[in-house]
Amino acid sequence: MTDTKTGSVDAAGLLRIQEAAAEAGLTSRSVRYYEEVGLLRPAARSEGDYRLYDATDVERLRFIKGLRDDAGFSLAEIAQLLEDEDARERGHEAYHATTDPAERLRILRDRVSRYEHQIEMLRSKVGRLQAMVDETDARLTRTKGKVRALTEEMAASIEVGTAR
Amino acid sequence: MTDTKTGSVDAAGLLRIQEAAAEAGLTSRSVRYYEEVGLLRPAARSEGDYRLYDATDVERLRFIKGLRDDAGFSLAEIAQLLEDEDARERGHEAYHATTDPAERLRILRDRVSRYEHQIEMLRSKVGRLQAMVDETDARLTRTKGKVRALTEEMAASIEVGTAR
DNA sequence: CCCAACTTTCACGTGAACGGTAAGGTTGCG
DNA sequence: CGCAACCTTACCGTTCACGTGAAAGTTGGG
């Protein structure tokens, strides 16, 4: 494979900041900023302290970008939605770090309630947006009605004029 | 009627900035700012140069707030969506200013295409948002599956332990 | 081992979207 | 007509979400 110096780190599938950012359609600056405000932490650091991101990190970055661009949430709101997941523990790691089923269950149930909360937030936004679409659609229909009425009226008057 | 000094101006149904802003859930500062960036112009000005807003202005303000809060559009994007409607003319006024059917038709058709554009923008946002909901819902379902599997597994091991 | 291309932290700069305050003018009930 | 409560423009301040260097260190192919 054409694996230049800008390739993935080792064969571990870890990406450096620019690669990870590009993968999610972001700039490295944004990614560092997101870390600064507590939205994510890189999966690892290289020997020389380079940030290294794995696939789930990129997933998360994509999700953040979606929440930002598509849902229009502020980074603070996004932090709320992604509640801890870093602060409390690195979910996945913590999950595999324990073999205690009760602990695993707690982690999973926690994740479930987070997802449910996220869905609720998103659904409410979809709802309000859909309401705006409907409103606009109603205006559109009314205006189209006016256009139709006017064109008919004009057609009639032309007929009169033509039939003179 | 209890009509204090803070009542509607005259009986013309015109509102002063604070009243109009409140009606739309905004601050007067925001409303002035929106005017500054070209999102709307008050229907009139009082003798003493007070901004006066009519019902359609309030409608517009509400729409702007929706685009801002619910759709997460920037004021620049909103300006694009509400394209001119001020710059080119004050739609309603212009419409009633002419009796030329052809001119009225042009205005109406213009409005139709604006509405269609707005709906398109909003629908695309709804779509992307819905995709995020679906994604999250899929994650939720998977996690719930894990929870179920784990609880069953635990129940089984308890049974074994109990049956010893 | 060298060097280009990446990376680090630190810090200041910027545009958007307002908030707040000052200094003055307007409205309208009493 | 007096006065409280609104309004005006003007301008500076602030928060968010980064952009943009600067100065230094790291990586990795040749």
**Residue A144: its chain B contacts at CB < 8 A?**
112
Q: What is the pLDDT of residue B100?
A: 86
Q: What is the pLDDT of residue B158?
A: 86
β partners of residue B9: B14
Question: With the C-alpha atoms ordered B96, B101, B102, B107, is the resulting torsion angle positive or negative?
Answer: positive
β partners of residue A44: A52
Label residues B58-87 b or e (16+ Cβ within 10 Å = b): bebbbbbbbbbebbbbebeebbebbeebbe
Query: What's this model's pTM, rounded to 2 decimal places?
Result: 0.87
Q: What is the pLDDT of residue B2?
A: 41
Q: What is the pLDDT of residue B1?
A: 44
**CA distance to A47, A79, A148, B7, per residue, from B105 (Å):** 70, 50, 9, 38
Stretches where chain B sits below pLDDT 50 are 1-4, 87
Q: Which residues contact B48 (CB under 8 A, 6 or more apart)?
A: none
Angle among Cα A47, A52, A54 to the nearest 5 degrees reads 140
Question: End-to-end distance of chain A based on CA atoms, in angstroms?
Answer: 82
Over residues B126-155, the pLDDT tens digits come to 999 999 999 999 999 999 999 999 999 999
Q: What is d(CA B125, CA A128) in angstroms, rounded to the nearest whole number? A: 12
Domain residue extents for chain B: 1-58, 83-164
- The three state secondary structure string of chain B is CCCCCCCCECCCCEEEHHHHHHHHCCCHHHHHHHHHCCCCCCCEECCCCCEEECHHHHHHHHHHHHHHHCCCCCHHHHHHHCCCCCCCCCHHHHHHHCCCHHHHHHHHHHHHHHHHHHHHHHHHHHHHHHHHHHHHHHHHHHHHHHHHHHHHHHHHHHHHHHCC
B69, B108, B126: residue with CB nearest A146: B108
Which nucleotides of strand D are protein-proximal, with an atom < 7 A from a CB? 4-9, 16-20, 25-29
Q: What is the pLDDT of residue A1?
A: 44
**CA distance to A164, B60, B107, per residue, from B94 (Å):** 32, 17, 8
Q: What is d(CA A43, CA A14) in angstroms, rounded to the nearest whole number? A: 8
Q: Which two tokens stand for residue A67?
A: 């929440």
State the fold for domain B1-58: Multidrug-efflux Transporter Regulator; Chain: A; Domain 2 (1.10.1660)
User: Strand D: which residues 48-87 of B lie within 7 A (CB)?
Assistant: 49-51
Please give the average pLDDT of every successive group of 10 residues along chain A, which has 164 residues: 52 91 98 97 96 96 96 94 64 70 90 94 95 96 96 88 62
Angle among Cα B157, B163, B164 to the nearest 5 degrees reads 100
Residue of B59, B140, B141, B154 for testing the chain A interface, max A β-carbons within 10 Å: B140
Over residues A113-152, the pLDDT tens digits come to 999 999 999 999 999 999 999 999 999 999 999 999 999 9
Residue of B67, B108, B153 for testing the chain A interface, max A β-carbons within 10 Å: B108
